[in-house]
Chain A
Amino acid sequence: MQIQRSSETHDVVIIGTGAAGGMAAWNLTRQGMNVLMLDAGTRFDRAKFWSHVKPWEAPRRLDAGQAPPRFYVDVKEQPYLTLPGQPFDLIRVWGRGGKTNVWGRVALRYSDMDFTGASRDGWEIPWPFRYKDIAPYYDRVDQLIGVCGGDDNLDSLPGSRYHLPPPPPRCGERLIQRAAKSIGIPVVAGRRAVLTRPHNGHAACHYCGACGKGCDVGAFFNSSDYLLEPAFQTGRLKIVDNAVAGRVLNDAEGRASGVQYFDRNTREERRVNARVVIVAASCIDSTRILLNSKSRQYPNGIGNSSDVIGRYLTEQVRLHMYGFVPELIGAPVQNEDGIGGEHVYLPRFNHRDGKKRDYLRGFGMQFWGFGASNADAGFAKMLPGFGAEFKANVKKRYPALVALHPYGEVLPYADNRVTVEKSPVDQYGLPIARIEYRYRENERKMAKEMYETAASILHAAKAEILPYDAASLGIPGQAIHEHSTCRMGDDPKRSALNGFCQSHEVKNLFVVDGAAFTTASEKNPTLTILALAWRSSDYLAGEMKAGRL
């Protein structure tokens, strides 16, 4: 097959158009650089989102040949391997904006407790910067994309002066907030990248609660509308659709020289040249691309002499508990859609009582799926019996449902990892990702306190608690927060990137997505991905202008 190679050399080629790639493209084009992006899919059309298709309308629409956008990659199209007994759910969106089309929108700042955890407890390495270094970028991201939230400012969750007004809590959320407070655990206003008022030309939320189907008016941050469209307006951005990246290429001196990619429809191979390559294909795919980028200079994958790339995969350990709060059993049902997810958040608190834990790091808690914010009654499967009495029970409990979801940090382990060595090849002839991942003693011990905390809050609320399995730690991957397989650090022997997401080994190679995170934290990563990509691309632009790239 003839390989099509463009003779043009772009200032920067970016693999991936999600939060990380989108931010880099927006920031570099506005600073005068010519950017080419490779997107493994195409643009999603908001007019075709099913945000306002009622649950009962969907079957007949499907019969009629209509379908919602296919956001998620089918594993049959792009498989990955896991080991027996070690499941890992890998959720991928290929297409303009990536996962930001359907993301959870929780926008929490990491704190120095996250950045320096390893300095305090000695487990693996700390991040190569501190909160004060990234705080200005958090400020800028909040202002650019619009994040609603409260005015609280905690050691484990730094505040922001730029929050849009938070939506008021739902009934159950007020009761849970009160119950948690009664046992000394603060529950604060949630922080979400949802516009509670119009912001920077984007429409405000209309409280339809269907964010998971994509927002039909773009009222929450997504990379396509908020970053790529303004970048196009500079005239310096091009995006190649259906371009599945295969390898980062390098020249004889070991510098990154471009990217090999494949047309998703025709499978034709193509190559583009670049002065700088930014990898932002989301953690696992970025890692696979780097590990597959083998050459004479880089037999272990580009930039991987340290053998760090692929290792230290972290996600989060995530549990679920449900109950019914007595005040709301039989209460009149209100519209509880709000901004989609929960309006409150329980920040990490396990460092406050001064008691030593038998595990390292910590957890926070989220609360999605209260009462009438659910357009279903799945909880009914856990209620006993059947018949008219059962039906009445479901109706009474529907507004009273509360849902507690603790998220805990998973420690980095060298053998929780992504490899390609023992993999079969995909339809493009490239080895697929093989994911080895399991929880260890630290996660099991932390999960015990996670369950106990959720149970104490429910007890304090005098809630009926639905049955749960305290031995279950859930299926890894389902938080969709993969990180750390190409981590940053000060020591090139123990990390792949410096604090600006620049490869220690290949100076014109950057990896700006979750793969770059040194640790996981208990928090959702996207806000930090955005801040980090902004900061790193500022550095990149400076280096390029100074002639060092």
Chain B
Amino acid sequence: MICEAPMNSTTRREALILIASASPLRAQHSHQHDATDAASSSESYRPKTLSPDEMKLAMILSDLIIPATDTPGASDAGVPEFIDRRLTASESLTRSFRHGAALLPAGFATLPVKDQVAVLTEWDAHPESAGGRFFRLMKDLTIDGYYSSRAGLTQELGWHGNTFLAEFKGCTHPEHQG
């Protein structure tokens, strides 16, 4: 939702942003030249901490937690990249991730999805176990990553905030007035 801000409060910079946001070319433009969107450019991201196998694991686990439905799932939204960034910023988080990953049954990545789900279901049911703690970590990271991504916020949740509005109308549901 883009509205014109009143001119007396619109600086030149704001006006430029308004024009840029309103342009129908913006999406295409940003995909080609603007490397600010994790979702549109994860193919170009080079992991700093996770190995290729670990990135694949982050992809599988995050997609089990938030799968693609009628909207993108975690890996399409750039969650593995998000996880790599978080781990890069924290050695203790990296250790927790690696300890946890070692608990997975051999060949987890190639198991049928229902068997992968069974492992996570078991861990989810035992939050105090080592597996339970790893599941908690992966769930939290996936939630943080997915719901701060463009796909997670705008396509899934329907968030279209942080924009310029001339007026804030508040609740417009008729049944909540009065």
A residues within 8 Å of B by Cβ? 47, 52, 54-57, 59-61, 64, 167-171, 173-175, 198, 203-204, 206-210, 216-217, 219, 327, 331-339, 343, 372-373, 375-378, 380-381, 384-388, 390-392, 394-395, 398
A339 CA / B167 CA spacing, docked (Å): 11
Which residues of the partner chain B approach A388 to less than 8 Å between Cβ atoms? 67, 69
Extra inter-chain contacts (9) besides given A327-B175, A391-B67, CB under 8 Å = A168-B168, A174-B177, A206-B164, A207-B164, A207-B168, A334-B172, A381-B139, A387-B117, A388-B69
Query: In chain A, what residue has the closest Cβ to B139?
Result: A386
Minimum Cβ distance to chain A for residue B163 (Å) = 6
6 shortest interchain CB distances as A-B pairs: A168-B170, A203-B9, A333-B158, A171-B171, A377-B147, A207-B165
Which residues of the partner chain A approach B147 to less than 8 Å between Cβ atoms? 376-378, 380, 394
Residue of B65, B85, B164, B170 near A169 (CB, 8 A) is B170
Minimum Cβ distance to chain A for residue B144 (Å) = 7
Check B9–A217 contact: CB distance below 8 A: yes
- Using known A-B contacts A208-B163, A381-B139, determine if residue A343 contacts B1 with beta carbons closer than 8 Å: no
Most buried by A among B37, B66, B168: B168
Check A59–B38 contact: CB distance below 8 A: yes
Query: In chain A, what residue has the closest Cβ to B140?
Result: A381
A525 CA / B107 CA spacing, docked (Å): 59
Check A390–B66 contact: CB distance below 8 A: yes
Check B66–A61 contact: CB distance below 8 A: no
- Using known A-B contacts A331-B173, A334-B171, A337-B168, determine if residue A217 contacts B11 with beta carbons closer than 8 Å: yes
A173 CA / B140 CA spacing, docked (Å): 28
Minimum Cβ distance to chain B for residue A370 (Å) = 10
B156 CB within 8 Å of chain A = yes
A394 CA / B152 CA spacing, docked (Å): 11
Which residues of the partner chain B approach A204 to less than 8 Å between Cβ atoms? 6, 9
Query: In chain A, what residue has the closest Cβ to B13?
Result: A47
Check B150–A372 contact: CB distance below 8 A: no
Check B168–A338 contact: CB distance below 8 A: yes
Check B170–A373 contact: CB distance below 8 A: no
Minimum Cβ distance to chain B for residue A148 (Å) = 11
Check B9–A175 contact: CB distance below 8 A: no
Query: In chain A, what residue has the closest Cβ to B73?
Result: A391
A440 CA / B124 CA spacing, docked (Å): 37
B148 CB within 8 Å of chain A = yes
Check A377–B162 contact: CB distance below 8 A: no
Check A55–B148 contact: CB distance below 8 A: yes
Q: What is the number of contacts between chain A and chain B, taking CB atoms within 8 Å?
A: 163
Check A337–B162 contact: CB distance below 8 A: yes
Minimum Cβ distance to chain B for residue A463 (Å) = 14
A376 CA / B144 CA spacing, docked (Å): 7
B33 CB within 8 Å of chain A = no
Check A373–B161 contact: CB distance below 8 A: yes
- Using known A-B contacts A217-B11, A375-B153, determine if residue A52 contacts B143 with beta carbons closer than 8 Å: no
B39 CB within 8 Å of chain A = yes
Minimum Cβ distance to chain A for residue B109 (Å) = 18
Check B162–A210 contact: CB distance below 8 A: yes
Which residues of the partner chain A approach B149 to less than 8 Å between Cβ atoms? 55-56
A345 CA / B44 CA spacing, docked (Å): 47
Which residues of the partner chain A approach B35 to less than 8 Å between Cβ atoms? 60, 64
Check A169–B171 contact: CB distance below 8 A: yes
20 contacts between A and B (CB under 8 A): A54-B150, A55-B148, A56-B150, A168-B170, A171-B170, A171-B171, A174-B176, A203-B11, A206-B9, A206-B165, A208-B161, A217-B11, A336-B161, A337-B165, A372-B161, A377-B157, A387-B65, A387-B67, A387-B117, A390-B65
Minimum Cβ distance to chain B for residue A196 (Å) = 8
B64 CB within 8 Å of chain A = yes
A56 CA / B147 CA spacing, docked (Å): 9
Minimum Cβ distance to chain A for residue B23 (Å) = 15
B32 CB within 8 Å of chain A = no
Residue of B6, B143, B164 near A208 (CB, 8 A) is B164
Residue of B69, B162, B170 near A52 (CB, 8 A) is B162
Residue of A54, A167, A395 near B168 (CB, 8 A) is A167
Which residues of the partner chain A approach B150 to less than 8 Å between Cβ atoms? 54, 56
Minimum Cβ distance to chain A for residue B101 (Å) = 17
B14 CB within 8 Å of chain A = yes
Query: In chain A, what residue has the closest Cβ to B135?
Result: A386
Check B6–A335 contact: CB distance below 8 A: no
B108 CB within 8 Å of chain A = no
Check A385–B124 contact: CB distance below 8 A: yes
Query: In chain A, what residue has the closest Cβ to B156?
Result: A395
Check A343–B170 contact: CB distance below 8 A: yes
Check A386–B65 contact: CB distance below 8 A: yes
B169 CB within 8 Å of chain A = yes
- Binary contact track B28-67/A, C-beta < 8 Å → 1, others 0: 0000000111110100000000000000000000001111
Check A56–B148 contact: CB distance below 8 A: yes
A377 CA / B156 CA spacing, docked (Å): 11
Minimum Cβ distance to chain A for residue B135 (Å) = 8
Query: In chain B, what residue has the closest Cβ to A195?
Result: B9
A210 CA / B156 CA spacing, docked (Å): 21
Check A338–B170 contact: CB distance below 8 A: yes
Minimum Cβ distance to chain A for residue B21 (Å) = 9
Which residues of the partner chain A approach B124 to less than 8 Å between Cβ atoms? 384-386
Most buried by A among B117, B153, B156, B169: B153
- Binary contact track B127-159/A, C-beta < 8 Å → 1, others 0: 000000000000110011001111011001111
Check B36–A375 contact: CB distance below 8 A: no
- Using known A-B contacts A203-B9, A391-B66, determine if residue A60 contacts B36 with beta carbons closer than 8 Å: yes
Which residues of the partner chain A approach B1 to less than 8 Å between Cβ atoms? 335
Check B37–A56 contact: CB distance below 8 A: yes
- Binary contact track B75-101/A, C-beta < 8 Å → 1, others 0: 000100110010000000000000000
Minimum Cβ distance to chain A for residue B52 (Å) = 20
Minimum Cβ distance to chain B for residue A221 (Å) = 16
Query: In chain B, what residue has the closest Cβ to A373?
Result: B161
B110 CB within 8 Å of chain A = no
Query: In chain A, what residue has the closest Cβ to B17?
Result: A52
Which residues of the partner chain B approach A216 to less than 8 Å between Cβ atoms? 13-14
Minimum Cβ distance to chain B for residue A199 (Å) = 11
Minimum Cβ distance to chain B for residue A504 (Å) = 46
B26 CB within 8 Å of chain A = no
Which residues of the partner chain A approach B176 to less than 8 Å between Cβ atoms? 171, 174-175, 327
A169 CA / B17 CA spacing, docked (Å): 28
Residue of B38, B163, B175 near A335 (CB, 8 A) is B163
Most buried by B among A169, A336, A377, A388: A377
Which residues of the partner chain A approach B120 to less than 8 Å between Cβ atoms? 386
Check A59–B163 contact: CB distance below 8 A: no
